[in-house]
Amino acid sequence: MTASALDSTVWTELAKTKDLSASFTQVQHRAVLKAPLTSTGTVHFSRPQELDWVVQTPSRSSFTLKNSIATMSYPDLGMTDTIDLASVPDANRLAMSLLVWMQADASAVDRDFTVTYSSTGARLVPKDAQLKKLLASIDLTLVPSPWRVTAVELTEPSGDQVEIAFTNVVLK
């Protein structure tokens, strides 16, 4: 598919998904790490704004977002922390920006990002100066029938990257 065809349909098609579940493999490339850190787990997203990101390896953790309430849990350490992101505007902005591809909100994408399309995906570059300090780009790999994201690459201004690949994707 051409980049222009992808541009005209991708957000509308992605927005049709009300519920997404998948397995993921996440590889973090960070300057402070001697080697990339790989983790695996599951993700579940439901509209309008519910996310469960559960890491199973190398150590168990979870991040749950329901509306503006974020809960981080580390069961092996016996730790759980809950925060209302509405009370921390910068954290809320970052969380919402990282989820923009799951929400497939075309107006939010247009408002917050400059988007460049290719035949296989899209690159989102933040417009906001504050967000640019935290995130350089989000690269999405997309496949049709039905449209879905198969991989995401988050690049930070420092050059650190997080690559996430999705498998066993179930859309409703």
pTM listed for this prediction: 0.86
- Give the model confidence (pLDDT) of 146-170 as tens digits: 778 899 999 999 999 999 999 998 8
**3-166, which class in CATH?**
mainly beta
Q: What is the DSSP string of 53-69?
A: EEEEESS-EEEEEETTE
- Give the model confidence (pLDDT) of 32-56 as tens digits: 999 999 999 999 998 877 889 999 9
Look at residue 1 in the predicted model and tell me its pLDDT: 43
Output the average pLDDT for the chain. 86
- 35 burial via Cβ count (<10 Å: 0-12, 13-18, 19+): exposed
Q: How far does CA 89 lie from the centroid of its chain?
A: 18
Q: Are 104 and 115 in contact (CB under 8 A)?
A: no
Domain boundaries, the chain: 3-166
Local mean pLDDT, 10-residue blocks, the chain (172 residues): 53 81 96 95 88 93 90 92 86 75 78 87 90 91 84 95 94 84
- Is omega for the bond preceding 146 within 30 degrees of 0, making it cis? yes
